[in-house]
Amino acid sequence: MSDLFPLTVSGAQTARRGKVLVGPIDLELGGSGTTVVMGPNGSGKTTLLRMLHGTARLTRGSIDWACGYHEARQQQGFVFQQPVMLRRSVLENIAYPLRIRGIGKAIAYEQAAEWGGRVGLTNLLERSATALSGGEKQKLALARAMITKPKVLFLDEPSAALDGRATREIEDILQDARQAGTRLILSTHDIGQAKRLADDILFLLHGLLHEQTAAAAFFDAPQTPQARSFLNGDIVE
């Protein structure tokens, strides 16, 4: 497969019912590390992820991968804040992306069991996925997204509403994925999580990109007063 990166975004904008949700956005992302999208609630973080992933329709501008659009989509995964569970077992849920790609049942289930073990769900593989806890569902969603070995993984608030232990477990899985070469692009409202995971930061406000900078520089010396206020815990309007 061809290289995905760089990802080049030029004047990209998406709107709904005449209201601009995000944009225009200009940025370029390289092919390694973890990019964290931050900003107040309603700033457009989820919409930006969906734009980059290709599931939010552009009303102007362009988003270009180094390879063709369809090839790029085959090399991506997306984990939603509230992942959808099929009314099947944990094992069948994890295997689902392989089965719809035509992989035989025996091989798909073998790989699904392996991925279930990687995310700590070995003892739950036969349980109904809809009966899992929030943290367990998020682990399942990660395994289901990563079983196809995507080159880039988008995650929308991957540990929202989880307790500290579940959050730590999710972050460990993400760090392992990054070390294995998966490009991570995720949103979070958790400043501590961003400090632990991010190599670079995209700071959004009112659907506009206010900063794109290395994580250390962002947290030490944000460039805009809005980012400084956000990091101080103030209300940003």
- Which tens digit of pLDDT belongs to each residue from 83-92? 899 999 999 9
Of the chain, the percentage scoring pLDDT greater than 90 comes to 81
Residues facing 29 on adjacent strands: 7
Burial of 10: CB neighbours in 10 Å, binned 0-12, 13-18, 19+? middle
Q: Longest Cα pair distance anywhere in the chain, in angstroms?
A: 56
pLDDT band at 15 (very low <50, low <70, confident <90, very high): very high
Q: Taking the model in full, what pTM does it have?
A: 0.93
Q: What is the pLDDT of residue 2?
A: 55
Tens-place pLDDT, residues 183-202: 999 999 899 999 999 999 99
Reduced to 3 states (helix: H, G, I; strand: E, B; else coil), residue 88 is coil
Mean pLDDT over the full length of the chain = 93
Query: pLDDT by residue (tens digit) across 66-75?
Result: 998 888 988 9
Domains of the chain plus CATH, in order, are 7-85+153-231 (3.40.50.300)
User: What is the number of other CB atoms lying within 10 angstroms of the CB of residue 216?
Assistant: 13
| Strand order through the sheet with 152-156 | 76-79, 152-156, 183-187, 34-38, 200-205, 208-214
What's the rounded mean pLDDT across residues 165-179? 91
> How far, CA to CA in Å, does 74 sit from each of 97, 130, 192, 204?
11, 27, 32, 27
